[in-house]
Homo-oligomer: A and B are copies of this chain.
Amino acid sequence: MAENTTRTTYTVESLLAVTVEVFNERGYDGTSMEDLSKAAGISKSSIYHHVRGKEELLRLAVGRALDGLFTILDEPAARSGRPVDRLEHVVRRTAEVLLEELPYVTLLLRVRGNTPTEQWALERRREFDHQVAELLRAAVAEGELRSDVEPRLATRLLFGMINSIVEWYRPGVRAQDGIAEAVVHLAFDGLRAPTA
């Protein structure tokens, strides 16, 4: 009885939380509606009550990660000020959103496939990267960032560093406070101690 009560409280959001864990563990292609039904402890028809199917769940899950990322670009600190400060804000917030929405961003970063939803997610990710690269270019043009590293390459290495956090970060294992700050330090000022 208790279990049934739990079952009826499922919302799209709680279903999504389970789904994204299963997708990350088994891969999107390797996950069946049966797997999701088992993991959520509800029948397939109950899932279909909420969504049309697996691909809609993927769209909602990566959509959540993408919304988190694109929201950053609309924040006041990302929209006005010196390009270098705007970029610094975006880098810090990107790391923070990754940590806050870890399973969703992890899923987004693993999207590889050929379904329309996966194509759309890849396209949106490229658009985000592109906007950050433009900000980086603007900061180089202003002389705020060094010009001896190609902006496209710098953007790739920057995102490589940020995105790699999903490989080792586990919530609760360590406070996430220092991570975004460390990313900013390393990205903008490097590891070398300032010469006195």
Contacts and interface: CB of A to CB of B under 8 A. Distances in A.
Interface of A: 84, 136, 143-150, 153-154, 156-165, 167-168, 178-179, 182-183, 185-194
Contact of A178 (B153, B158, B168, B179): B153
Interface of A, secondary structure class, is helix
Nearest to A167: B160
A136 B193 CA distance: 12
A191 B149 contact: yes
A192 B147 CA distance: 9
A74 to B, nearest CB: 23
A159 B178 CA distance: 18
A168 B156 contact: yes
B157 A192 contact: no
